[in-house]
Amino acid sequence: MKDDPVELRTGALTGGRLPLILLERPDHYQIAVVIKPGSFSDLRKEGLAAFHERIREAAPALYDRAVDELDEWKRIAFLHVEGSRLTKWHVPGMLLIGDAAHVMTPVGGVGINYAIWDAVEAANVLAPILKSGRTIEETNLAEIQRRRETPTKWMQRFQRIAGRNIVTAVAADESRRLRVPWIVRFFLRLPGVRTALPRMIALGWKPTRCEVALYFRY
């Protein structure tokens, strides 16, 4: 990865017939292919060789790896993008967290993070009550939603903006070539900023920390 072009390592959004969004991870890329709604079946009809050629057009540095790794269609996951949130995550005796309470879009790749943080915050609130032998009230469940709802709202807002202003625009016009604005790419090349931005996206604006010690007996 260190030998790849800089644009691949700074959140590049490539154009062409197969726009790609790339997120750099410590030892791999997380890549999304943007296509028009309802066009996946047409893409499959073209065949894998044509799919690989589209990758070559969009990101030549990834072509050889795409041919090696994406050698059959089952290696490629099709996702219908959706982002939504319940207004109320709880009723007496039941708490909804993760995807059951809020569906995150793939933008930023943070869905599993937010599900885990919901569980951590639930432990922070409920574990002391359970250890003391008290009864969990719905107000306790409401407190979990209160703690987690605002960070979730902010991330979903960020995802909507990214989807509406960039991803949707690319998918709507295959001839359009968009890139992350030059000023953003400039700052992303700075070592401190380059690590801080992914960290903020991954951990959120207000990271959730475990406040209780949990012990499990098997």
Residue 45, CA distances (Å) to 16, 50, 100, 142, 171 in order: 19, 9, 34, 49, 19
How far is it, in rounded angstroms, from Cα 24 to Cα 13? 12
Architecture of domain 86-175: 3-Layer(bba) Sandwich (3.50)
Pairing of strands 29-33, 20-24: antiparallel
Residue 19, CA distances (Å) to 55, 71, 72, 77, 157 in order: 8, 20, 20, 16, 22
Whose structure tokens read 């700075």?
190
| Cα diameter, the chain | 63
Exposure string of 18-54, with b = 16+ CB inside 10 Å and e = fewer, is: bbbbbbbeeeebeebbbbeeeeeeebeeeebeebbbb
Where is 216: in which H helix or E strand? none
Tokens coding 102: 């809020």
| Secondary structure string (H, E, C) spanning 105-121 | CCHHHCHHHHHHHHHHH
How far is it, in rounded angstroms, from Cα 98 to Cα 115? 4
Contacts of 210 (CB under 8 A, 6+ apart): 120, 123, 124
Question: Residue 169 has what pLDDT?
Answer: 62
How far is it, in rounded angstroms, from Cα 119 to Cα 116? 5
Q: Where are the domains of the chain?
A: 6-75, 86-175
How far is it, in rounded angstroms, from Cα 18 to Cα 54? 6
According to DSSP, residue 17 is labeled: S
How far is it, in rounded angstroms, from Cα 201 to Cα 113? 10
Question: Residue 194 has what pLDDT?
Answer: 64
Computed over its alpha carbons, how large is the radius of gyration of the chain?
21
Backbone angle region of 38, left / alpha / beta, with phi > 0 → left and psi within -120 to 50 → alpha = left
List, run by run, the mean pLDDT of 10-residue segments along the chain (218 residues). 64 63 74 78 90 84 88 86 91 96 85 92 94 94 96 88 66 56 64 68 71 56
